[in-house]
Amino acid sequence: MTASPRLNFETFFSMCEKHRWSFDNDVAWSEIRTDLVTQQELETLRYAALTEGFTPTYIADLLQLYCDDAEMGAFLSIQYYEEYKHFHALRRYLQACGMPITDEELMARRSTRTNYRSKLIPLLKFGLSEIFTAIFYRNLGRSTKEPVLKQLCEYIAGDEYRHLNFYTAQLEHYVQTQNVSSDELLEALAQYQHQGLEAVEDWTNFWQRNGSAYTGMEPYVILQKTLSRLAGKPISVRSLVQTTTDRSLAATFH
């Protein structure tokens, strides 16, 4: 069977340029209504921001792994820029709402490094996490009553969906060209944890308390359809639901 062509960087970059938003000009910072944003929303944004702020560590590990892949290496350079842009935007919003993030908090876990056993692991780890992240920002933007937060979440969700599309295409291409079996896919999937577990110490507690309220089961439905298609047979994600919500089962994915 001929391998499906992956989404090339030129196409991805053109989409990014078409939908690029300006940190200074497109976000109405002066119009933030602090009386309309809730404490729960601010606490949720704080965890999201710290995860986005961990991007330099994520990317340092991934660039080393993908330095021999022109397409993936180029994609990671743009993803790095956009994810850190998300962090600075969320940090600025939190600062305006009286909940600043200090440099000490930002750097607290930066010494964490991950050496991946194969290229399949990060494709699953970051690709699947983008499903949660894109849906999270989309739904937070839809539910909040604060107009600037709504606007900001719409911009960030758009970026995350583009990242997700690239990862999905790259994962499909890798599975086909490397002849990854359904058993290998399941074995790697069994180790899955959202990337936030590395960035934030009490990530699973946060996810149980705040984050999952904005995603529900939708990410798992998408995951099941995507992975079943790649594996060529039905794949259950029931165990994935457990490992992403139970702290005792949480472990970094490498």
Residue pLDDT, tens place only, 156-197: 999 999 999 889 989 998 998 999 998 888 888 877 777 888
Least confident range from 14-18, 29-33, 60-64, 88-92: namely 14-18
Please list, in sequence order, all residues whose beta carbon lies within 8 angstroms of the beta carbon of residue 245, skipping any fewer than 6 positions away: 204, 207, 208, 212
Band of pLDDT at residue 253, cut at 50, 70 and 90: low
In a domain, 15, yes or no: no
Q: Which amino acid is at 209?
A: R
CB proximity list for 169: less than 8 A, separation 6 or greater? 4, 6, 7
Written as six digits, the tokens of 36 are: 């309309």
In a domain, 31, yes or no: no
Which residues, 6 or more positions from 115, have their beta carbon under 8 angstroms from its beta carbon?
61, 254
Share of the chain above pLDDT 90, in %: 42
Alpha carbons within 13 angstroms on the beta-carbon side of residue 195 total: 30
Residue 57 placed within a domain: yes
Reported as a pLDDT band with limits 50, 70 and 90, residue 29 is very high
Q: What is the mean pLDDT of the chain?
A: 87
In this prediction the pTM is 0.89
Containing domain of residue 65, as a range?
Answer: 37-249
Specify if 240 maps to a domain: yes
Number of domains in the chain: 1
Does the residue 23 lie in any domain? no
Q: The domain that contains 208 carries what CATH number? A: 1.10.620.20
Q: Averaged over 211-225, what is the pLDDT?
A: 88
94 pLDDT tier (thresholds 50, 70, 90): very high
Tell me if 28 is assigned to some domain: no
**How far apart are the C-alpha atoms of 228 and 237, rounded to whole Å?**
10
In a domain, 168, yes or no: yes
